[in-house]
Amino acid sequence: MAGEPTDETKCWKELLSGSKEAYAAIYGLHVKAMYRYGMSLVSISEEFVLDCIHDVFAEIWIRRERLTVPDNIRSYLFVALKNRILHLLKRQERPHMFVPQENFEDLWFESSAEDILTQKEESASREELLTRMVARLPPRQQEAIRLRFVENMDYNEIGQVLEVNTQSAHNLVFRAMEKLRGWLLAAFFIFQSGSF
Amino acid sequence: MDNTYEHFGPVDFVTDDQFLRHRLAPSANSEAFWAEYLGIYPHKKTEWLQAGELLNAVLLGLTSYSRTYLSEEEEAKLLDRILRTTEAHDADIRTQEAAPVKPLRESSGWYLRAAVAAAVALAVIATGYLAWRPKNSPQGRYAETITALESTSTVTRHTNKSAQPELYYLPDSSSVMLSPKSEVSFTSAYNQQNRSVYLSGKATLDVVPNAGKPFYVYANEVVTKVLGTKFEVVAFDDGSDVTVKVLDGKVTVYQNNVRNNGAIGAPKQSAILLLPNQLVVFDRKAELFDKRLVENPVSLPDIKSLPRFEYEDAYAVRFFEDIKKAYGVNVVYNPELLENCQFSAAFSDESLPEKLNVVCKTIGASYEIIDAQVVITTTGCKP
């Protein structure tokens, strides 16, 4: 959503007709967010993420004559990056970095506020506490709130990246926020440590 | 406005596109919209404000994500790399157009693979000469190797002609305590991708740790790959057995024979891992390694304390310790290099190699199974 969509679309069209400047401009507009997003998917291997971003952009250039203008460039690039990461991870003798969604969600047991707050003594700051709460959310919800609140994507775009419809994308964010609010309220009542 | 937000609670507001667009990227329009809205529906103000606080809370909880930052320098470097790739591709297209026959190319990353294939072919040619000569007598093997190396590159040779051991420094400050009548040599490629030295006689090597540039010692039929720091190699050209003894750190030892025709890459066959105070003797006649050490007794894992193999931003070291516990397999790694390596994954029925593949790929490491032990190779992770 950031930037002027019309300018960006124009830029993309120039890229498709072979402009290296437009290509570099598109790169400059999106690479930081792609890096952030890529790093959130495969946590620590920076080199791997950079390789994948490289491949995504190289492929765009190579296939430019056959590409069209995507509805939303940011989510198009996120999807391309995620696919590249998955493709490379799968080629490694089918590991299960990302197991099927249904099974994956099951692995996350429901956390109660007490679970999180039992470690409160150690939590020096509010940021730490909130980070821990976010980390307790199921991974898809975490991904959805990153896209919604940090990348400022709308639900349509989030749906594209997560391969669900707009309503489901909204539900993921909604459920995450309900849970966070519940935990924050519990934290407030249990410890009287200030309003959320 | 067609939506009155009449039944909206804080969570409804904080997940509303319109609300978020205003809070995350406010515009004059959005200011006006919400000012007007709160003017008309003053009783929704509490929920509206709570939504704002919730938003601040979740943003605080996502700080580590939003702080993940690609530096300008890295950004420029990556762009440069991408542009070089596209230029290589464009140049290749031009060549193809000029050529009478256009090969059909399907997959997108083909040029990368072609480049890799070319590099591999070069390596095989460069080392093939060494590897494919007939293995006649074990004697004179060092001389043969040096002659072969000299035909392709500049070789620096150093012989200890004195009667006492002599300390000799390699270009990277690794040191070689060279015994009398012993010689060490290396090519101009030393310390580029890796550090290879060739030895005849007896030497104790003290290697400067550098995970990015593995250190290899070629001594007659034996190749020693250094993971740790200090070890001794005895390999005289007189036909006697080759011994490698580890004084400190870890090394892997394997046979350098015709089958292993990649002198630079580490052959996987018959690799032996040596820990401090362990010793291996290579019988040159039988072509066998004799590892003079007692295997560490492996205790069976206690079912109750089996690890769950679920990790969230967990340290890789924890995973490797879990592997040790669950499989009774020793995992050899450098904890200092893995200090900053974290990852998230959840496993259920995956096999040991599958688990290792996932974790190693995630933290940018690789592993080898040597002598029933898992050896992790990594250059470390950025904090």
pLDDT at residue B43 greater than cutoff 60: yes
Residue A76 exposure: Cα atoms within 13 Å on the Cβ side: 14
Residue A96 clears pLDDT 50, i.e. is over it: no
- What value does the mean pLDDT take over residues B279-308? 52
pLDDT at residue B344 tops 70: yes
Backbone angles phi, psi at B89, to 5 degrees: -65, -50
- For position A11, what pLDDT does the model report? 92
Name the closest residue on chain A to residue B341, using Cα atoms: A44
**Contact with chain A for residue B21, Cβ under 8 A:** yes
3-state DSSP call for residue A99?
Answer: coil
In chain B, what residues touch A155 (CB-CB under 8 Å)?
17
Asked whether residue A109 carries a pLDDT value surpassing 60, the answer given is no
Q: Which two tokens stand for residue A88?
A: 């490379």
Q: Which two tokens stand for residue B286?
A: 């039988």
Q: Is B71 on the interface with A (CB under 8 A)?
A: no
Q: Name which of A80-84, B11-15, B51-55, B274-278 the model is least confident about.
A: B274-278
pLDDT score for B134: 33
Coil, strand or helix: which one is B25?
A: coil
Q: Which of B265, B289, B268, B267 lies closest to B279, judged by CA?
A: B289
pLDDT at B163: 86
**A187-191, B332-336, B339-343: least confidently modelled range:** A187-191
- Measured CA to CA, the distance from residue A154 to residue A162 in angstroms comes to 12
Choose the closest CB to B62 out of A94, A107, A149.
A149
Residue B34 half-sphere exposure, CB side, CA atoms within 13 Å?
19
Contacts by B351-359 with C-beta closer than 8 Å and gap 24+? B352/B323, B352/B327, B353/A93, B354/A93, B354/A94, B354/A95, B354/A96, B355/B309, B355/B319, B355/B323, B356/B323, B357/A92, B357/A93, B357/A95, B358/A89, B358/A92, B358/A95, B358/A96, B358/A97, B359/B316, B359/B319
Q: What is the mean pLDDT of residues B219-229?
A: 72
Question: Which backbone phi and psi does B215 adopt, to 5 degrees?
Answer: -110, 125
Residue type, B328: G
C-beta atoms of A184 and B62 within 8 A: no
pLDDT at A78 over 90: yes
Q: How many Å apart are CA B380 and CA B54, to the nearest integer?
A: 37
Chain A CB contacts of B21 below 8 Å:
1, 152, 154
Q: What are phi and psi of B296, to 5 degrees?
A: -65, 130
**What pLDDT was estimated at residue A165?**
93
What value, to the nearest 5°, has the Cα angle with vertex B340 and ends A120 and B266? 150
* pLDDT, mean of residues A87-112: 47
- Cβ of B10 within 8 Å of Cβ of A181? The answer is yes
Contact B86 A61 (CB under 8 A): yes
CA distance A122 to A18: 55
Percent of chain B with pLDDT over 70: 68
Contact A44 B61 (CB under 8 A): no
**pLDDT of res. B229:** 62
Most A CBs within 10 A among B8, B14, B65, B72, hence the mutation to make, goes to: B65
Whether the Cβ atoms of residue B366 and residue B360 lie closer than 8 Å to each other: yes
Residue A140 CA, chain-centre distance (Å), reads 9
Q: For tokens 């002659």, what's the residue?
A: B147
- Residue B315 pLDDT more than 60? yes
Partners of residue A61 in chain B, C-beta under 8 Å: 82, 85-86, 89
CATH 1.10.8.60 for the B303-377 domain, yes or no: no
Q: Which pairs with CB-CB distance under 8 Å and at least 24 residues apart come from B165-174?
A: B170/B195, B170/B197, B172/B208, B172/B210, B172/B213, B173/B208, B174/B205, B174/B206, B174/B207, B174/B208, B174/B215
The CA distance from B130 to the nearest CA of chain A, in Å, is 32
Written out in words, the top-level CATH class of the domain with range B130-292 is mainly beta
Above 50 in pLDDT, residue B263?
Answer: no
Lowest mean pLDDT among A22-36, B333-347, B360-374: B360-374
Q: How far apart are CA B115 and CA A47, in angstroms?
A: 19
Convert the pLDDT of each residue in B179-217 to its tens digit. 888 899 998 888 888 888 888 888 888 887 776 777 888
Model confidence at A195, pLDDT cuts 50, 70, 90, reads very low
Show the domains of chain A with their CATH numbers.
Answer: 5-91 (1.10.1740), 101-191 (1.10.10.10)
Q: Please report, rounded to a whole number, the percentage of residues in chain A having pLDDT higher than 90.
A: 45
Alpha-carbon Rg for chain A in angstroms: 19
Torsion of CA A34, A36, A40, A42, to 10 degrees: 60
Which is nearest to B353 in space by CA: B308, B313, B312, B323? B323
Domain ranges of chain B: 10-66, 130-292, 303-377
Instruction: Report chain B residues whose CB lies below 8 A from the CB of A83.
Output: none
Provide the shortest C-alpha distance from residue B236 to chain A (in Å): 42
Confidence class for position B328, pLDDT limits 50, 70, 90: low
* Amino acid occupying residue B261: N
Does the CB of B53 have a partner CB in chain A at under 8 Å? yes
Within 8 A of B63 by CB-CB distance, chain A residues are 127, 131
Instruction: Looking at the complex, report in whole angstroms how far the Cα of residue A3 sits from the nearest Cα belonging to chain B.
Output: 10
Question: Does residue B206 contact residue B235 with C-beta atoms inside 8 Å?
Answer: no
Ordered alpha helix ranges (H), chain A: 5-16, 20-41, 46-62, 73-91, 101-106, 113-117, 126-135, 139-145, 155-162, 166-191
Q: What are phi and psi of B158, to 5 degrees?
A: -135, 125
Asked if residue A149 lies in contact with residue B55, where contact means CB atoms within 8 angstroms, the answer is yes
At A175, the amino acid letter reads R
